[in-house]
């Protein structure tokens, strides 16, 4: 008897949760559907949900008109490049803070975190002027540098929380066996650290991909990533709903898929290990 | 425990990250502060010179500044209230036994991965547009007059868009926190006959307090800097109705080319963010000790 009631309850909760989940997801779903409509169907009144003529033409039109692949490649270079560069700088730092903590390790960590509190708009002008005079404005190199620096504290922190969980005894055992620092890193630490590094990489690609303050202000055309590409659809092309939808889906799809795989790391990374 | 050798190696390994962040923080900060005391317009760059606090006085003595401060507070506060209240409700719901929990989680988390420019344009065109938006169609179907969200209530509309983006973050963190709650305690309370509402207020909510603090502080840092959503929906308008501090500084410096005034605004933004940051560092620092 009790079981029957709890099953009914479970079905009720399921229905409510699914309804709310779909409601939150609806804008993305609607954009996805609209991207396969003709422009006339996209603004039909009453709106067409599934019963329209499906077409891929918007995707080709977007590529032809605003060169999606160029912007996609810029996003890949900026998000991927800054993450890799960040990891190269952060892995040694996080490694030494986790395994050879000194008197000031905690202070250094907190200080690194504090640089993240600097509102970007507070340093927009100097960066803009420096970039303008050094030719870094609207260049992928410039954006990779900025993205690396703004995400470096998060990368160090995430790696630090992961490295902390690797038992230090294993390293000491390796040291006793006469492993050099280099060998210790390559043969002992790296295999154990790979999952943490992979999660850090994933989260940072997502953050850099979606970053829209520096990219909008520093990259107008040549180095413009997808954030800027979409902003270009603000007007008047925004009135072409089907094409805007196709462009939007093309901009968010890669990261949406990556994001779904990184839910757990997301919590940990964005709270600097405060919630796990 | 560790040898002298590994200690100096450790210092060497921290050095690049520390040095880069130090330069990244210090150089622009010093420059911003320096420019904020200069008359420096990009259109008349030869008329540069020290003008004391004039930039600050002009920046603050401007109705746009005060309305931008108000808008910043409303934006941050509004989004925080919406995301935390609904975040708690969603987290409680998602914690209950159901079919397809993983899929619901995926649906709820999705908006967080949508880049700000896309979510702003999707809401602006497909939902809030007074002619072809879904809200307008719904209003017409109900025999009502379509409402022009972004010109009638620009700030509220932006609060709505930004809340949609951040609700997943709050939900996910609060859900993670709820799931770490010791179930024995709840079962004991249930056996003692504590009703659901008091179980929530006396056990779950106190357990969530730390996660809520973290959500408030981290979101505040990001919400103080909301920019792309305003740029692609309203451009801060009509007038300055949806201009926040970040957008005002951008408009001053890159639209009016007034480096001095923009820098003064930047310094004010830094001071505000630091006040928030002090609280954040305390909360996270506590965790580091435990």
The per-residue b/e assignment along B172-211, b for 16 or more CB within 10 angstroms, e otherwise, is bbbbbbbeeeeeeeeeebeeeebeeeebeeebbeebbeeb
pLDDT at res. B54: 87
Tokens of B218: 């981290």
Q: Which of A24-33, A220-229, A254-263, B238-247 has the lowest mean pLDDT?
A: A254-263
d(CA A210, CA A83): 13
B275 contact A CB<8A: no
Task: Name the 3-class secondary structure at B99.
Answer: coil
d(CA B256, CA A173): 63
d(CA B289, CA A107): 12
Chain segment B124-175, per-residue pLDDT in tens:
999 998 888 899 888 888 888 888 888 889 999 999 999 999 999 999 999 9
What is the pLDDT of chain B when averaged over all its residues?
87
How big, in percent rounded to 5, are the helix, strand and coil portions of chain A?
A: 75, 0, 25
Angle at A22 (CA atoms; ends A20, A24), nearest 5 degrees: 70
Give the pLDDT band of residue A252 (cuts 50, 70, 90): very high
Test the A interface: residue of B5, B99, B107, B275 with most A CBs within 10 Å:
B107
Specify whether the CB–CB gap between B122 and A233 falls below 8 A: no
Neighbours of A88 (CB within 10 A): 12
Q: Which residue has the tokens 């910043």?
A: B72
A276 contact B CB<8A: yes
Strand partners, B50: B38
Question: Which range, A3-7, A29-33, A264-268, is most confident?
Answer: A29-33
d(CA A216, CA A146): 13
Does residue B154 lie within any of the structural domains? yes
pLDDT at res. A238: 56
Altogether, the residues listed in chain A come to a count of 276
For B258, which DSSP code?
B
Does residue B31 lie within any of the structural domains? no
Does residue B248 lie within any of the structural domains? yes
Domains of chain A, by residue range, sit at 2-57, 63-270
Chain segment A203-238, per-residue pLDDT in tens:
889 889 999 899 999 988 888 999 988 888 877 655
Specify whether the CB–CB gap between B179 and B95 falls below 8 A: yes
* H or E, element range at A105: helix A105-115
- Give A-chain residues touching B90 at CB under 8 angstroms: 20
Does residue B270 lie within any of the structural domains? yes
Chain segment B249-287, per-residue pLDDT in tens:
999 888 888 888 989 999 999 998 888 778 777 766 665
Contacts 24+ apart (CB under 8 A), B271-274: B272/A119, B272/B224, B272/B245, B273/A117, B273/A118, B273/A119, B273/A122, B273/B221, B273/B224, B274/A117
Give the pLDDT band of residue B1 (cuts 50, 70, 90): very low
d(CA B6, CA A43): 66
Q: Which residue has the tokens 């790391």?
A: A265
Percent of chain B with pLDDT over 70: 95
Question: Which range, A188-197, B102-111, B180-189, is most confident?
Answer: B102-111
Does residue B250 lie within any of the structural domains? yes
pLDDT at res. B289: 53
Alpha-helix residue ranges (DSSP H) falling in chain B: 4-36, 54-60, 63-95, 101-109, 116-122, 134-141, 149-152, 154-179, 183-191, 196-199, 205-223, 228-233, 245-250, 259-289
Distance of CA A268 to the CA centre of its chain: 14
The pTM assigned to this predicted structure is 0.88
Test the B interface: residue of A151, A163, A241, A275 with most B CBs within 10 Å:
A275
Test the A interface: residue of B38, B59, B68, B117 with most A CBs within 10 Å:
B117
Domain A63-270, CATH? 1.10.3720.10
First to last CA, chain A: 38
Does residue B3 lie within any of the structural domains? no
Does residue B170 lie within any of the structural domains? yes
Specify whether the CB–CB gap between A109 and A90 falls below 8 A: no
Chain segment A107-154, per-residue pLDDT in tens:
888 888 788 778 888 888 889 989 999 999 999 999 999 999 999 998
Specify whether the CB–CB gap between B78 and B159 falls below 8 A: yes
Task: Count up the domains in chain B and report the number.
Answer: 1
Q: Which residue has the tokens 């019963």?
A: A51
- Give A-chain residues touching B48 at CB under 8 angstroms: none
Q: Show which of residues 21-40 on chain B sit within 8 Å of chain A, judged by CB atoms.
A: 21, 24-25, 27-29, 31-32, 35
From residue B213, how far is each of A15, A119, B160 by CA, in Å?
31, 20, 22
Nearest Cα residue to A209 out of A146, A154, A251: A251
Q: Is this prediction's ipTM beyond 0.90?
A: no
At residue A18, does pLDDT exceed 50? yes
CATH of the domain at B142: 1.10.3720.10
pLDDT at res. B5: 67
Quick one: CA torsion of A97, A102, A104, A109, rounded to 10 degrees?
Answer: 10
pLDDT at res. B185: 79
Is B246 close to A119, i.e. CB distance below 8 A?
A: yes
Specify whether the CB–CB gap between A83 and A205 falls below 8 A: yes
Quote the domain boundaries for residue B226: 53-289
Task: Name the 3-class secondary structure at A224.
Answer: coil
Chain segment A87-104, per-residue pLDDT in tens:
999 998 998 888 888 888
Strand partners, B41: B44, B258
For the residues of B172-230, what is the DSSP string, one character each?
A: HHHHHHHHTS-HHHHHHHHHTT--HHHHIIIIIHHHHHHHHHHHHHHHHHHHTT--HHH
Q: Which residue has the tokens 């609207």?
A: A138
Specify whether the CB–CB gap between B96 and A13 falls below 8 A: yes
d(CA A49, CA A32): 11
pLDDT at res. A2: 46
B269 contact A CB<8A: yes
Neighbours of B136 (CB within 10 A): 21
Chain segment B162-207, per-residue pLDDT in tens:
999 999 999 999 998 888 887 777 788 888 888 888 888 888 888 8
Nearest Cα residue to A147 out of A67, A222, A227: A227
Does residue B35 lie within any of the structural domains? no
Is B228 close to A213, i.e. CB distance below 8 A?
A: yes
Percent of chain A with pLDDT over 70: 95
């Amino acid at each position: 008897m009790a079981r029957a009631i709890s099953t009914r309850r479970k079905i009720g909760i399921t229905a409510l949760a699914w309804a709310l989940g779909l409601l939150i997801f609806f804008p993305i779903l609607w954009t996805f559907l609209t991207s396969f409509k003709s422009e006339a169907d996209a603004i039909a009144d009453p709106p067409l949900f599934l019963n329209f003529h499906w077409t891929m033409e918007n995707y080709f039109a977007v590529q032809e008109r605003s060169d999606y692949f160029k912007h996609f490649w810029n996003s890949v270079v900026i998000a991927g490049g800054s993450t890799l560069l960040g990891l190269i700088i952060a892995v040694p730092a996080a490694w030494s803070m986790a395994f050879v903590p000194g008197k000031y390790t905690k202070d250094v960590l907190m200080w690194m975190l504090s640089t993240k509190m600097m509102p970007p708009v507070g340093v927009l002008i100097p960066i803009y002027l420096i970039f303008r005079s050094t030719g870094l404005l609207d260049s992928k190199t410039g954006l990779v540098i900025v993205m690396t620096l703004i995400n470096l504290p998060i990368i160090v922190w995430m790696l630090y929380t992961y490295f902390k969980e690797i038992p230090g005894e294993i390293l000491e055992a390796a040291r006793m066996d006469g492993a050099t620092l280099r060998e210790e890193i390559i043969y002992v630490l790296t295999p154990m650290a790979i999952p943490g590094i992979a999660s850090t990489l994933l989260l940072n690609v997502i953050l850099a991909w979606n970053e829209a303050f520096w990219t909008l202000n520093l990259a107008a055309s040549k180095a413009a990533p997808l954030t800027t590409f979409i902003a270009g659809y603000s007007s008047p092309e925004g009135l072409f709903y089907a094409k805007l939808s196709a462009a939007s889906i093309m901009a968010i799809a890669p990261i949406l898929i990556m994001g779904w795989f990184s839910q757990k790391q997301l919590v940990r990374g964005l709270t600097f290990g405060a919630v796990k | 425990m560790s040898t002298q050798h590994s200690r100096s190696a450790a210092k060497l390994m921290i050095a690049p990250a520390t040095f880069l962040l130090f330069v990244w923080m210090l150089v622009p900060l010093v420059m911003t502060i320096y420019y904020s005391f200069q008359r420096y317009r990009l259109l008349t760059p030869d008329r540069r010179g020290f003008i004391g606090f004039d930039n600050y006085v002009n920046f603050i003595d401007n109705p746009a500044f005060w309305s931008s401060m108000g808008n910043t507070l409303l934006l941050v506060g509004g989004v925080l209230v919406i995301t935390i209240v609904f975040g708690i409700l969603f987290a409680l719901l998602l914690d209950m036994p159901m079919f397809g929990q993983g899929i619901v989680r995926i649906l709820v988390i999705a908006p967080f991965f949508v880049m700000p420019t896309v979510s702003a344009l999707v809401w602006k065109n497909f939902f809030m547009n007074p002619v072809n938006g879904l809200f307008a169609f719904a209003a017409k179907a109900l025999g009502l007059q379509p409402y022009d969200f972004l010109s009638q209530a620009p700030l509220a509309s932006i609060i709505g868009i930004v809340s949609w983006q951040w609700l997943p973050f709050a939900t996910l963190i609060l859900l993670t926190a709820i799931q770490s709650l010791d179930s024995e305690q709840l079962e004991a309370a249930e056996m003692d006959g504590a009703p659901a509402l008091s179980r929530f207020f006396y056990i779950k909510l106190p357990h969530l307090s730390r996660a809520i603090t973290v959500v408030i502080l981290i979101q505040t840092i990001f919400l103080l800097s909301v920019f792309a959503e305003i740029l692609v929906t309203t451009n801060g308008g009509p007038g300055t109705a949806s201009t926040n501090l970040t957008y005002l500084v951008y408009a001053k410096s890159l639209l009016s080319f007034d480096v001095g005034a923009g820098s003064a605004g930047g310094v004010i933004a830094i001071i505000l963010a630091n006040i928030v940051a002090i609280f954040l560092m305390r909360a996270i620092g506590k965790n580091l000790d435990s």
